[in-house]
Amino acid sequence: MVDMHCHIIWNEDDGPRSMVESMKLIEQAVKEGITALIATSHSNHPQYDVGYNVVSNQIDILQNELINNKIPLTLYTGHEVRLTEKIIPLYQANQIHTLANSQFLLLELPSYTVPSYIDHIIHALLMEGITPIIAHPERNKAIAENPNRLVQLIRQGAFSQITAGSLTGHFGRTVQKLSLDLVRANLVHVYGSDAHNLTTRPFLFDQGLCYLEKKKELDAVDILLENNARILKNMPFSVNEPEEIATPKWWKIY
């Protein structure tokens, strides 16, 4: 299985503090059945901006360590790129990693809003041959209050990624409920752990899949894992037509 969103390099953002912690995270990933990890350190985040070469160099170091210790996992470069009007020049200047050198770029929204200029950014990325994947939309307040905002982004050509911990209830029951609603409305296309450490932000990769299976979303599990694998092959995603969601009057988040 492929985990396409994970903070695995050390001492650069809010992920592991040391290479030892990175290796412990990797060992946990292997225990959960993960065979490939895409490292998605923060880029252009207000607090963290991990350089292109830093990601490449640390992934090389970690991969060599895995080979030397016969750990059956392959690492790939990536970034979780905060939405910015500078994103096109950054991409053109080779300052941000796509996911595993594919056409897909992991795009992070601010926590509370969906800026109006995102429409322009999605269009501009598509013109560059890059397909944006919206990271964890279930944790964005504006989308939680109006999930059909995500429908609009998808119909413009973006995809979206659900986080394992959101499905397991790690971020609360409200986020868990929204996550399942998004999956059932065909508004989620790939699946990531967004793991940062073994305590407060663990993998929960297998647990999230088990939750979907418990809710009888077996087809969704197959599609999410297949699309994760397609990132590594740089292949188009398997998708179903997105559906609009009627937001309950009682719905609140945060």
pTM over 0.85: yes
Residue 165, SS3 per DSSP: helix
pLDDT tens, residue by residue, 85-111: 999 999 999 999 999 999 999 999 999
Residue 44, SS3 per DSSP: coil
Give percent of the chain with pLDDT exceeding 90: 90
In a domain, 136, yes or no: yes
H or E stretch at 107: strand 104-108
Count: domains in the chain: 1
In a domain, 244, yes or no: no
- What is the domain-level CATH number for residue 9? 3.20.20.140
Give percent of the chain with pLDDT exceeding 70: 96
In a domain, 176, yes or no: yes
- CA dist 146 and 22 (Å) reads 37
Q: Average pLDDT in the 228-241 region? A: 93
In a domain, 152, yes or no: yes
- CA dist 194 and 139 (Å) reads 12
* Domain, as residue range, for 153: 2-233
In a domain, 240, yes or no: no
- CA dist 242 and 251 (Å) reads 21
In a domain, 99, yes or no: yes
* CB contact at 8 A, 26 and 197: no
In a domain, 94, yes or no: yes
Q: Which is more confident, 67 or 240?
A: 67
Tokens of 85: 């009007």
In a domain, 201, yes or no: yes
Query: What DSSP letter does each residue of 185-220 carry, written as one string?
Result: TT---EEE--B--SSSS---HHHHHHHHHHTT-HHH
pLDDT tens, residue by residue, 198-211: 888 899 999 999 99
pLDDT for residue 244? 81
